[in-house]
Chain A
Amino acid sequence: MYDRRIAGKELTFGVSGKLHANSLIMYDHQTDSLWSHLVGSAVTGPLKGEKLKPLQSMFTQWSTWRNFYPDSKVLNNGRSSIFSLRDPYESYYRSPDTGIIPTRLSDKRIYPKEYVLGLVLNDKAKAYPFSALSREPVVNDTFQAVPLLVVFDSESTTGMIFRRKLDGKTLSFKKTQLQREKGVFLVDDETSSVWEGLSGRAVQGPLKGKKLEPLPATPSFWFGWADHYPKTELFALSR
C-alpha cells in the first residue's frame, strides 16, 4: 500500500498487463511510467527511479480488523457480480506453482510459496516467514540499528512490525495472557505495561494509552520477495 503522490502530484494507477519476476507491474495514467507494485518504484518511463512512500496496513481476517476498527468501511465494488467473493486465485494460493515465469530464486532456505512479512529499512531488506513467526510470535529484533518488535497472531495469521523504541527508551517484549481476551498480548520488561500486540497499544500499566509506531511491512510469497530483494536477510528461529 502506497501514498500515490510524487512530489505533491497525485497519480492514479492501472494494471499494465506486464509482469516483473511474476509480480504486478502498474502504470500511471499521468505519465505512462511502469512501476513495480512490490517495490513501489518506477522501472521505466518519465518517472523512472521515483519511489512511492509505503503506508502501513494490515493483512488479516475481517473479524480481527473489525475488532480493532468497529467503524471501518468495506470496499463493496464487485460484490454483486455473479462470481460473488470467490477469489480467482484460490487454487494458485494452495498449489506449489510460482507464477508463469520461471523464478530466479535459487534461495531455497524456505518453501517458495511460504508467506513472509517483508521489511525494507535504509534500502536493506529482511523477511520474516509466517512459519517461524507462528512458533515465535513475539520477536525482539534489531535490523539496520533499529530496535523492532515483530508480532504474529497465528489464529488470524496476521503479522505486524513496530519500532520498539518509545520516547527514547528501548523496550523488550514477551507474550502474556489476559483473561477473557482473545488475541496477542505482550508485557514489556522495563515497565510491566501490557500491550495489545497487533495494534501496538498499551492497555494496562504505566504506559497505558501509548502506542508503538508501526512500520510498513509487505506480506508476500517468499519467491516474489527474494526475487525482488536477492540480498534479503531471512529471519530464522534461534533454536
Chain B
Amino acid sequence: MAALALILAFFLSAWTLPDLLAADLRPEEIVTVLPKDAIPAILSPSFDEGRKATWLKETDLVVGVEIGGDSRAYPVPTLSRHEIVNDKVGGIPIAVTW
C-alpha cells in the first residue's frame, strides 16, 4: 500500500512539476547556427563620458543601468553586434545580454 502511494506520489509530482516552473527550456532543442565566438562578446568594455558622446543621436536606443551611483548606457546597435557585454558597474560584475 505504501509502495503504491509512493508510486502514485511519483507520478503526480512528475505530472505537476512542469507546472511549477515558469520557464520551458529544452536542451534537446538547442541548435548550432554559428561557430563558438563567431559573434565576439565584449570582455573589455571601454566608455566615453555621455556628455561628450556626440556620435550618439537623441533617439538612438540604449540599454541603461545604474548601480550605486555608477550609470552606464549600452547602445543597442553595439549590443546587436556583440550580444554580450561583460562589465563591472558600481563594483558588481554584470552581463548585459541582447
B14 interface residue (CB < 8 Å to A): no
What is the 8 Å Cβ interface bit string for chain A, positions 1-21, against chain B (1 contact, 0 not)? 111110000111111111111
Q: Are B62 and A43 in touch, CB under 8 angstroms? A: no
Q: Is B80 an interface residue (CB 8 A)?
A: yes
Among A76-84, A133-141, A167-175, the stretch in contact with B: A76-84
Query: Size range of the interface on B?
Result: 35 or more
List, in ascending order, chain B residues with CB within 8 A of A36's CB. 23, 25
Report A170-196 CB contacts with B as 1/0, cut-off 8 Å. 000000000000000000000000000
Shortest beta-carbon distance from A217 to chain B in Å: 12
A-B contact list, 12 entries, CB within 8 Å = A15-B36, A18-B30, A20-B30, A36-B25, A37-B97, A43-B25, A60-B64, A63-B58, A72-B73, A85-B56, A101-B31, A229-B24
Residues of A within 8 A of B (CB): 1-5, 10-21, 24-27, 34, 36-37, 39, 41, 43-44, 52, 55-63, 65-66, 68-79, 83, 85-89, 100-101, 120, 123-125, 227-232
4 A-B pairs besides A13-B95, A55-B92 with CB distance below 8 A are A19-B33, A24-B98, A62-B73, A77-B78
